[in-house]
Copies of this chain bind each other. A is one copy, B any other.
């Protein structure tokens, strides 16, 4: 900056004013400064800026992985929304979501150049009081039930599940089987609980639960283990549903004629599955938007407002569900 000032024949303060587009600089001077900037390839040093302002204009995102279905879309929405507000986002990946690793990420994050963090670890470790964010850090948590201690943005998992299960029951299926996600996952647990609740409320038998790890492959394995009397399955995400479709196909059970399948997420591919998948639509982008909005508000006001913000879901009926026909 000093070099620019010298070349333009002005003080560094004037350069600063030009760089920030402040008024009070006469046009001819501005031109000179801009020319000097171009010539020297001047670019402001954001570290110094941050130091001066005490803010980084950066948000951190702590996540377990981008590969899991919705995360990348949520992160994308966060990035877009943050960019619109003049914030950059920094990714803090946590390899394996063990307690130690998560704690480690929180610690590192504390030293990172961020004004606040969004936590998307998908694992209900935050519920345990042993794992806590450093005090004084502005944070918004996605998909957790730590709503009493943190500001939480969550998809309305329970409602989406209810819609899915009721849809199947209304089609005349005697009951609905369930293939859940990993037990450590908060979302998986929520969906499983809601599934069980609907069955119990309506007096249906509750079949044993299947488990997968969100991957299509695990869904395939779970699908192979489904008993023959099963005529309706609610699968905890679309990718596992894809695996279930394949398993049922290999076993010669036609979908939807013999078995109805419902997924969760409504990823872009779901409408191209064979058959196109009936699934619960989740608005990842909206989750991202609300996270950023809530976090920026928290940073701006300086106070956290614990509580849970639920983003609605809705069932999208496609070709993988049909009315139950009793075995003739």
Contacts and interface: CB of A to CB of B under 8 A. Distances in A.
Interface in A58-72: 58, 65-67, 71-72
A2 to B, nearest CB: 15
Contacts of A249: 274
A276 B111 CA distance: 46
Given A72-B66, A91-B89, A47 B43 contact: no
Nearest to A89: B91
A219 B44 CA distance: 46
A41 interface: yes
A224 to B, nearest CB: 12
A95 interface: yes
A272 interface: yes
Nearest to A56: B47
Interface in A267-294: 268-269, 271-274, 276
A268 B90 contact: no
Contacts of A276: 246
Interface in A62-88: 65-67, 71-73, 75-76, 79-80, 83, 88
A12 interface: no
A113 B43 CA distance: 11
Interface stretch (A121-129, A165-173, A174-182, A237-245): A237-245
Interface in A133-159: 134-136
A246 B318 CA distance: 14
Interface in A217-274: 217, 219-220, 239, 242-243, 245-246, 249, 268-269, 271-274
A189 to B, nearest CB: 23
A301 interface: no
Given A76-B67, A242-B269, A271-B217, A90 B92 contact: no
A216 B273 CA distance: 9
A93 interface: yes
Contact of A110 (B43, B95, B271): B43
Interface in A3-47: 41, 43-47
Given A83-B92, A242-B269, 11 more contacts: A48-B51, A50-B113, A66-B75, A72-B72, A75-B91, A88-B90, A89-B91, A90-B90, A216-B271, A245-B274, A246-B272
27 contacts: A41-B135, A46-B111, A46-B112, A47-B51, A47-B56, A50-B50, A65-B76, A66-B72, A66-B76, A67-B268, A71-B72, A72-B72, A75-B91, A76-B93, A79-B91, A83-B92, A83-B93, A88-B91, A89-B90, A90-B90, A216-B268, A216-B269, A216-B271, A217-B268, A220-B272, A239-B272, A246-B274
